Amino acid sequence: MELYLNYLQKHDMQEGENPPIGLLLCSEGNTEHIELLMLDEPNIKVGQYLTYLPEKQWFVDKLNRSILIAKEKQR
């Protein structure tokens, strides 16, 4: 993905545009494999999409985990 992002930045960006970002969407898979990708790169993001509507508790758990991660990053 870095190759494509660098190409876009060098050859396709117009004046005034923000740098391109890469977005990986994963429906399921091995979380450890995803974490081994270039997630430390500032222009590459990983998102999860669902093919079903989860229970309400799933959303509550995700929100609480996100809050904890955000608090840890503030330190």
| pLDDT score, position 39 | 59
Token pair for 17: 């545009």
Closest CA to 47 of 70, 61, 68, 26: 26
Helices (H), 1-75: 2-7, 31-35, 56-74
pLDDT in tens, the chain (75 residues): 788 888 999 999 999 999 888 776 666 666 666 666 655 666 666 667 777 888 999 999 989 988 998 888 888
Distance CA 70, CA 74 (A): 6
